[in-house]
Amino acid sequence: MKATQGVPKWLVLLAFLLMALGVGGWQSWRWWQSAIAPIATAGSDGSGTSPTAAPSTETASTTQITIAIPPGSTATQIGADLKAAGLVHSTIAWNAWTRWQTWQNREGGFQAGTYALSPTATLPQIANQIWQGEVVLESFTIPEGWSLKQMANYFDEKGFFSADDFLAASQTIPRDRHPWLPNNLPKLEGFLFPDTYKLSGTVTPGVVIDQMLSQFQQVALPVYRQNQQNQAKSPYSLLEWVTLASIVEKEAVVQTERPTIAGVFAKRLREGIPLGADPTVEYALGIRQTVEQPLTYAQVKIPSPYNTYINPGLPPTPIAAPGLASLEAALNPADTPYLFFMARYDGTHIFSRTLAEHEGAKVAVDADLASKNQPPGAAPKSAQ
């Protein structure tokens, strides 16, 4: 004690205060480093559970967690969701990081969307990912020739939204954003362009439909408009064009036959002969024929606006989503002498000029099926 008698008490108190502040600062720093540290280390399973999160893609290091940030979410709510999902240690640290961005006048803010986040990332890394909007890109592929029902089931299976929601949305015609759509169109069948798409953010039926219509506008519509400016322009309205192309799409399998099939239909339309297209009957009945279960004579006699065996002309709307090749073939059909074609069940067709030739083609196809121990067709095939 004698050694400290010459030291002023205030200096001793100051020293103790500085020591306390140093210890407190060190403790605070250690807490902060612990609070913003990754939940998991590389190679561990850092998956969490939350009503808004679900395990997603396996990576080389750990399991990513997919979490949805709904539009309008506050920073506090986002932090709570991340904590519940097992992505951050502390909501206090999350809120502190958020306030620090505000004090720094950082531009932007947390963005809504779906994110694939890793538990091996630090709190600032996760926060920056959401701040910068580095959302997961969802992708989907619609093949040529699909109907609205097939699309709806596909989106349902992918978990995007229910089939019923998509079908309901497809009956709303967004002419305010796409004024080129035909008037009195009851549904968007045929105008949702088949392609591969990538989407970011929240995926809804409206978002998907808008992107597919935009693709039709960008890829298909210019083809029609350019044709209408030519001297030998198509006699079809926009709706008739897409309707005819959809039937061509459902009939054609081999690319080289597409213009000829379109030519047969164009010739029949000019001469007032019913198209006799099986796919229109299948569409009306909601079925798909096979070699084992072909359309029957009774089925092709069932009344429907879509039955082109008993109704001349085109059906009221498209029956599927035609691709660009079928759309171009419908505008530029081959000048063909054929009025009939018979499917061989291998994707190719036998084209005939007369009914007698066509009857012979049916006999030949049935004989070929019999030689392969397959039942002959129970009904005449397309373009009868």
Q: Could you tell me the pTM of the whole model?
A: 0.71
Backbone angles phi, psi at 328, to 5 degrees: -70, -40
pLDDT at 230: 83
Domains of the chain: 53-135 (3.30.1490.480), 139-219 (no CATH), 237-371 (no CATH)
- First vs last Cα of the chain: how many Å apart? 117
pLDDT at 63: 77
Other C-beta atoms closer than 10 Å to the C-beta of 204 total 15
pLDDT at 16: 55
Helix 238-251 to helix 258-271 angle (10° resolution) is 130
pLDDT at 45: 44
Is residue 58 classed as helix, strand or coil in its secondary structure?
A: strand
pLDDT at 5: 54
Structure tokens at 255: 């690319």
Distance CA 301, CA 303 (A): 6
pLDDT at 153: 97
Extract the runs of DSSP E, i.e. beta strands, from 75-195. 113-117, 137-141
Q: Which helix (H) or strand (E) holds 210?
A: helix 205-219
Distance CA 345, CA 287 (A): 17
pLDDT at 243: 98
Positive or negative torsion for Cα 154, 156, 162, 164: positive
The mean pLDDT values, 10 residues at a time, for the chain of 384 residues are 51 55 63 79 46 40 75 90 90 87 84 85 89 83 97 94 96 95 96 92 88 96 92 88 98 94 96 95 92 87 96 97 97 94 86 90 79 56 55
